[in-house]
Amino acid sequence: MSDNCLFCKIVRGEIPADKLYEDDEVLAFRDISPQAPLHFLVIPKKHISGPGTVGQEDEKLLGKVMRVGSEVAAKEGIKHYRQVFNNGEEAGQTVFHIHMHVLGGRSMNWPPG
């Protein structure tokens, strides 16, 4: 847990979020500024600053983040979606608590640029 981290505050319930899934290890909630008809984030409750600091001890947890992202997308009726992690400011990371974006519900170009 990190005192000043926005997503740790969401985990602690200090900031409200539109939650789609929650258990003792992970949380999925809608992005406040959706970039697609379906856009939510999946985070581990454990504070990890980003993909670049995932340790060996976190491997199972991050696999669960992917699985939960897929299951929530399916529950929302979306079969085609993108799962994205940003690492570092120049890659678009603005919140330094690892989160996986799940985007779907519209066609998307590849590569994203």
Binders of ligand 5GP among residues 4 to 33 (CB under 6 A) are: 6, 15, 17, 29-33
Report what 33 binds from Zn ion, ligand 5GP, none; CB cut-off 5-8 Å by kind.
Answer: ligand 5GP
Q: Name residue 19's beta-bridge partners.
A: 29
Report what 83 binds from Zn ion, ligand 5GP, none; CB cut-off 5-8 Å by kind.
Answer: none
* Site track 35-74 with ligand 5GP (rule: CB under 6 A), x = hit: ----------------------------------------
Q: How far is the CB of 42 from ligand 5GP (least distance, A)?
A: 12
Query: Cis before residue 51, ω within 30 degrees of 0?
Result: no
- On the 0-12 / 13-18 / 19+ scale of CB atoms within 10 A, 70 is middle
- Binding interface with Zn ion (CB under 5 A): 2, 5, 7-8, 47, 97
Q: Is residue 99 flagged as an active site residue?
A: yes
DSSP assignment of 13-26: TSS---EEEE-SSE
Secondary-structure percent of the chain, ordered helix, strand, coil, rounded to 5: 30, 20, 50
- Give me the residue label for tokens 């939960």: 68
The binding site for ligand 5GP (CB under 6 A) comprises 6, 15, 17, 29-33, 86, 92-95
